[in-house]
Amino acid sequence: MSMRGGGGRGRVSARDTEAQKAANAGAPKVEHLLRRIGELFKPHRRALSVTIVLVLISAGMSVLPPLLTREAFDIGLFPKSGIPDVPVLMLLVGAMVALWIASAGLGVWQTYLTATVGNTVMGRLRTRLFGHLQAMELAFFTKTKTGIIQSRLQNDVGGVADVLSNTISSVIGNTVTVIAAFVSMLVLSWQLTIVAVILLPVLLIAQRRVGQVRARIATKTQESLSDMTSITQEALSVSGILLAKSFNQQKAEIARYEAENQTQIRLQVRQQMSGQWFFAVVGIFLSVIPAIIYLVAAWLITHDVAVTAGTIVAFTTVQARLTFPLLGLLRVVLDLQTSQALFSRIFEYLDLHPAITDKPTATPVDPGQLGRVEFDQVVFRYPDAGPDTPATLKSMTFDIEPGQYAAFVGPSGAGKTTVSYLVPRFHDVSGGRVLFAGSDVRDLQQDSLVHNIGIVSQETYLFHATIAENLRYAKPDATDAELEAAARAANIHATIASFPDGYDTLVGERGYRLSGGEKQRIAIARVLLKDPAVLILDEATSALDSVSERIVQAALDTASRGRTTIAIAHRLSTVINADVIFVVDGGRIVERGTHDELVALEEGVYAKLFHEQSRAMAG
């Protein structure tokens, strides 16, 4: 994203500066952009070639009717004999009708081809962008607003799709008409053609100016749309609504939305008007031309240039027919200039490189050492944290044997969740190594690594789908019996079975229709179906009341049997039986051992925490 001399042009808004930069940098990159857009169309070369052939045929065909018009006048209607020649006239009219029918048919075929190509290209671009975003590392999503990402996919690709599918058919159709009209005009009278086209360069210059203005407005419009999507997405989610309602902030939310909406309205009006003024002026320009042609024709006739009545009628007919296609082409150029800003925004996302990818030499997880997890002097700093902030993890070393139950405890903000993110390689370490089954996670295939890890976190995410579909997310080909077995093990089968729709019960947005404990047990059943070698529990029970906690904890105990478990715990009561407890504080492991060993350390952090919590429970 380098941008030379960017400082001088345009005021960069603080909101979506990247898009602004792309738009400012847009001008010198047009050719590059066009080449990339062209590449998108490469797979459709055949359809496009057919279209071009159709265009040429149509073009050839539409040169003829104006010439026939002249003949109809000069030979059919007003022949030298003075009496209309009906048979000739019938022939000419018949030919004209046949030509128009044929070219209308070709037009339909062309539109079908171009609409198919345009929409397919855009559809694929959308999928590519979505796929690319799936590959982006977790950090990209933690530092980008969800609404802004959604807006690129929906508003930007959508905007381009509209332009493109209209553009192809309009460019082709109008080019045909313009070329054909121009040729007919030349054949009819080159002198009058000069009069008709002399004003065109003026239009082109005006169009360029308007195009630039519109592209600028379009960038601002997309930024504002993106902000609106992000506000909507934040405010209208279940959590957002709950927050607004509980703090009585609905009015403030509406005001925030309204402010952005006003910007949007202003921009939309400006965008539409900037084009409309231009087209109004151009329209007047083009309609005045016939009048000028009559005058010039009179002048030509008085200067002994032969111009027949038929020629003048045919010429002005053609010229009038030229107006709309010409306006259409100008509009297309404008639209393309506008969509250039959108394309820049789309390509900008496609050009992002995922920070975490497989090495070419990456291997699958070694089944021999499955279940072993080690940290070797791991240092980690969040990518979006400033360089001056201390590292979140400072030289952390530990070793968890296959099948062990390891608990991580310590104050909030100590770095426990961060540890759980580094095992499945959601982030890459800043120093040291994370080893999974004996290999550095950076040398493993991500698919294989993640396949062997199951995560149950405090905030369970369930899709708005049936319980069965949510469970099969872990194993698409799981049988009903497998679903039930997993649900039984997770202590949730009886609850599901009591619902009228059983496993086909729809889960509300983010599972809000289920209680926290039920959701959590469904999440555990989901992980059991995945059957991973390593299970990560990130404060899986800390959001629950004590009754639900006991039920969920029982399910978790079943789930962790026979596999390595990394449990991040808030309540120490859940870790008493752990094989090993790591006490984390300030990004370091400050104590390690079993519950009994750690309680025995008189001045120990763990002992203090344990006594505090026991007192709280007793009191």
CA distance to 10, 18, 215, 226, per residue, from 13 (Å): 9, 9, 16, 14
Residue type, 414: A
Query: Smallest distance, Å, CB 449 to ligand ADP?
Result: 20
Query: Smallest distance, Å, CB 413 to ligand ADP?
Result: 4
Query: Smallest distance, Å, CB 390 to ligand ADP?
Result: 9
Query: Smallest distance, Å, CB 568 to ligand ADP?
Result: 6
140 scored as a contact of ligand ADP (CB under 6 A): no
Pick the piece of the chain touching ligand ADP (CB under 6 A) from 315-323, 380-388, 499-507, 553-561. 380-388
Query: Smallest distance, Å, CB 578 to ligand ADP?
Result: 17
146 scored as a contact of ligand ADP (CB under 6 A): no
416 scored as a contact of ligand ADP (CB under 6 A): yes
Helices (H), 303-373: 309-350
| Three-state DSSP state, 224 | helix
Exactly one of 418, 460, 541, 560 binds ligand ADP (CB under 6 A); which one? 418
Query: Smallest distance, Å, CB 236 to ligand ADP?
Result: 24
Pick the piece of the chain touching ligand ADP (CB under 6 A) from 88-96, 284-292, 298-306, 407-415. 407-415
> Which letter, b or e, does each residue of 234-250 get, where b requires 16 or more Cβ atoms within 10 Å of its Cβ?
bbeeeebeeebeeeeee
| Three-state DSSP state, 247 | coil
Exactly one of 412, 480, 547, 618 binds ligand ADP (CB under 6 A); which one? 412
Sheet holding 453-457, edge to edge: 453-457, 534-538, 564-568, 405-409, 580-585, 588-593
Between 354 and 413, whose beta carbon lies closer to ligand ADP?
413
Burial of 501: CB neighbours in 10 Å, binned 0-12, 13-18, 19+: exposed
535 membership: H or E segment, kind and range: strand 534-538
Helices (H), 236-308: 238-246, 250-302
| Three-state DSSP state, 465 | coil
415 scored as a contact of ligand ADP (CB under 6 A): yes
Exactly one of 43, 94, 413, 562 binds ligand ADP (CB under 6 A); which one? 413
CA distance 154 to 229: 10
Between 202 and 385, whose beta carbon lies closer to ligand ADP?
385
Query: Smallest distance, Å, CB 591 to ligand ADP?
Result: 15
Pick the piece of the chain touching ligand ADP (CB under 6 A) from 20-28, 215-223, 306-314, 415-423. 415-423
Between 175 and 392, whose beta carbon lies closer to ligand ADP?
392
Which pair of tokens denotes residue 404? 């062990």
Q: What is the per-residue DSSP string for 485-505?
A: HHHHHTT-HHHHHHSTTGGGP
Between 483 and 598, whose beta carbon lies closer to ligand ADP?
598
Exactly one of 13, 119, 127, 142 binds ligand ADP (CB under 6 A); which one? 142
CA distance 122 to 167: 13
Q: Which residues bind ligand ADP (CB under 6 A)?
A: 142, 382, 384-385, 392, 412-418
